[in-house]
Every structure is written in structure tokens, then in C-alpha cells.
Chains A and B, each alone.
Chain A
């Protein structure tokens, strides 16, 4: 019987296209090896409602664009040992942050999506989390331990970083990292 305690891993999907999570799943058969070593305690692909305590590694896709995401990110940081920005939206804001170039972008983006571009029922929704004035990459809000770049990052790079961390080593990003 295996008695080694499994590493508690979480993944979070903020404002991104889910491409980074797709890349995570693209690890294919390597996921089976990974599954033996980790316990997925929170993720869009696991049905858990509240971000748990005592997480070892959290990978976060997407930029921070509304208040709900802001509080989830802060909570994740409080409860996680190693927090990783996964993909360009998390690292730079990327396409999600393009609205930052507009005046009053929190209002403008809703106006554009729900009024100007709406074919039917033009109405700005009121029962959704408040949109932030600006979109932020994660490290503008909390301390980030590792940055995995790419739009999306390759499955191989994700696998490398996670495998190194699980083995208790520090991933060496030299030559692997690419800006934007």
C-alpha cells in the first residue's frame, strides 16, 4: 500500500479562454502518472465549490477582471504554498487586458458587449460580479512564485514545471521562458 501523502494541487480559471486548461489536459498519458502523485482539490474540472485550505500548488489561468476573481485570487494565495501564473493572460493580462487602453474600460466593455454588439435584448446584466476598472496580471495583486508563459503554454512546459515541483526541485526556466 502506498502511504506517501499526495501533493494537493488546485487549478483556477479566471479571465482567460480556457486554452491553458486545455493545454494542461493535453499532457495526455502523462496525466495518469500525475494523478498517482497529486490530489486535485479545486479546479474547473473538479466539482468543488469553495477553495480549500492547505493547498501545495495552485496553477492559475487568466487575468483578474472582476471582484469575485479578485477575492478568489487573494484567498488562493492565503491558502497555497506555491502559486503559479499559467499562461499569458495570467502573466501579462494579454488579450483580456486590451480593454485597459479604453477610457473607463469597466463601463465601456459592458456597453460594447451588451448594448452596441447585442442583436436582441440590449441590457447590461446587474446580477454579475462587479467589473474592475482595469484588468490585472496576477502579480499586480498577489505574490507569484512561478510564471509559465505561452498563449497557451505547451503541455510539455506545464508538465515540466509541475513534475519538478512535485519532485521537490526548483524548475529551471532559463531558455524555457518566453515573454508574451
Chain B
């Protein structure tokens, strides 16, 4: 079977990829890196953080590369002043939405949000910050969630549901008030479905879910989802 392919241009480079590929994947496979935060290979796309916005010729709108499929003849721009401005704004909004004090955070220097801020040159936040004081749950034997650092990327929900297969985690409330919960809003230590597999801590891009007493640099392992997905396909058996 031959897969149908699509030819398009990304930053002036002509690329040919299978139909249905996302712009993000097409770019990555051709050496063009688009900044992302909520997206994680091995998990279903979510399209929530808007870091991966790109321009498509002929449209004044911006498109999230992680959920937009390629089409024939498309001309995509992944870097421009306008895009950098939007990405900087997205990072600042995430930093302003809850309480981020890096100097006292477990993830300081190992945080994807912080490192994006550095890459984009965000050295201060222009928006007024919300200074949330949401519940920190440390009732589990070793897993902790500090919801004040959660950026609602849903990576933990997706890894728990799609890879571990138990769907312990979900969201309650909406918008900026949304919170990650366990089971029907139990304390983590009382969750009857959590297998304590730690995958949520491994993929959380920030210092929101972590393992007590373990350096975050050791815990974080965001390739775990892609790794498990590939193994499940048993490629070695052919």
C-alpha cells in the first residue's frame, strides 16, 4: 500500500509528507523546530497552549501547528516577528495565570515553561499576576501536585488515560479556574484507581506534579509516552 503524500512549503523549504500529518510533525521531520508546550509525542494532540502558532499564506489567522493537518500547496511560516510576539505573550499569560516563583520551585532550571521564556527572551511579565492559592495535595505516598504551578496542558491527563490506561486524572471547573483532580475529586492518597506509575510526574512540563524527595531533573522524562507507544507497536517482531 502506498500512502498518499502531500507537498507543501515550510519556511520556504519544499517538503513531502504523508497525508494527515500535522504541520508540527512535518516541520520536525524536516529539521524545523516549532516551540510547543502542551504537545507531546506519543499522546493525542490537545492544542491548548498556543505556543506552536504558525502563519499560513492566504489567511490572516494563526494556526496551531500541533493540530492543523498539512494540505497540498500550503505555504507555512514558523518564524516571524508577529509569531514571536504572540509566543512571548502566551508565555507571559501562563506565568501570570498562577503563582510561579522559580527560585523556590522544585523545577527551577528544569522547567519547560521557564526555558521557553528564556528562549523567547521573556525576562519579565507585563501582565498583572493572579497570585493563586490553590490546594497543594501531598496525601499520596510520594506524588505531589501543586496546582499553583499547573499550566493546564493536560499532558498528565492524557498520559494517565492513553498510556497507563486508568484515567485517574481529570479536570474540574473551567477556564482559568480549572484544576487537575484525582478520581471524583478525591485526595490523591485516597484514589482507588491510581497505580502510582509516576508517568504524570514524568511528563508534567513544569513543577506542578513531582515526586517527593526526588530531584525533578531525575523525574522528568517526557519521551516516555513516545517510547511506550513505539514499544507497543512491537516493531521488532515485524
B121 lies within 8 A of A139 (CB) = no
A179 lies within 8 A of B114 (CB) = yes
Residue of A nearest to B102 (CB): A180
Minimum CB–CB distance for A146 against chain B, Å: 9
Q: A101 at interface (Cβ–Cβ under 8 A)?
A: yes
How far apart sit A58 and B35, CA to CA, in the bound complex (Å)? 36
**Interface size band for A:** 20 to 34
How far apart sit A114 and B101, CA to CA, in the bound complex (Å)? 25
Contacts of B108 in A (CB 8 A): 180
How far apart sit A88 and B87, CA to CA, in the bound complex (Å)? 22
A97 lies within 8 A of B101 (CB) = yes
Contacts of B131 in A (CB 8 A): 97, 100-101, 134
Q: B57 at interface (Cβ–Cβ under 8 A)?
A: no
**Given A102-B133, A178-B118, is A137 in contact with B124 using a C-beta cutoff of 8 Å?**
yes
A177 lies within 8 A of B123 (CB) = yes
Chain A proximity mask over B138-156: 1 for CB below 8 Å, otherwise 0: 0000000000100000000
Minimum CB–CB distance for B100 against chain A, Å: 7
Chain B proximity mask over A122-165: 1 for CB below 8 Å, otherwise 0: 00000000000010010110001001010100000000000000
Residue of A nearest to B122 (CB): A179
Q: A43 at interface (Cβ–Cβ under 8 A)?
A: no
B123's contact among A100, A102, A147, by CB below 8 Å, is which? A147
Minimum CB–CB distance for B79 against chain A, Å: 15
Q: A29 at interface (Cβ–Cβ under 8 A)?
A: no
**Interface size band for B:** 20 to 34
Minimum CB–CB distance for A28 against chain B, Å: 24
Q: A174 at interface (Cβ–Cβ under 8 A)?
A: yes
Minimum CB–CB distance for B176 against chain A, Å: 15
Q: A25 at interface (Cβ–Cβ under 8 A)?
A: no
A95's contact among B104, B114, B122, B126, by CB below 8 Å, is which? B104
Q: B191 at interface (Cβ–Cβ under 8 A)?
A: no
B123 lies within 8 A of A173 (CB) = yes
Q: B103 at interface (Cβ–Cβ under 8 A)?
A: yes
B99 lies within 8 A of A91 (CB) = no
Q: B214 at interface (Cβ–Cβ under 8 A)?
A: no
11 contacts between A and B (CB under 8 A): A94-B101, A98-B104, A100-B131, A101-B99, A102-B133, A139-B126, A147-B123, A178-B114, A179-B117, A180-B102, A180-B114
CB-CB nearest 5 A-B residue pairs: A180-B102, A179-B117, A151-B103, A100-B131, A101-B133
Q: Interface of B with A (CB < 8 Å)?
A: 95, 99-105, 108, 114, 117-118, 121-126, 128-129, 131-133, 148
10 further A-B pairs in the complex, CB-CB below 8 A; given A95-B101, A95-B104, A179-B122 = A92-B102, A93-B101, A94-B103, A97-B131, A101-B133, A137-B124, A140-B128, A179-B117, A179-B118, A180-B100
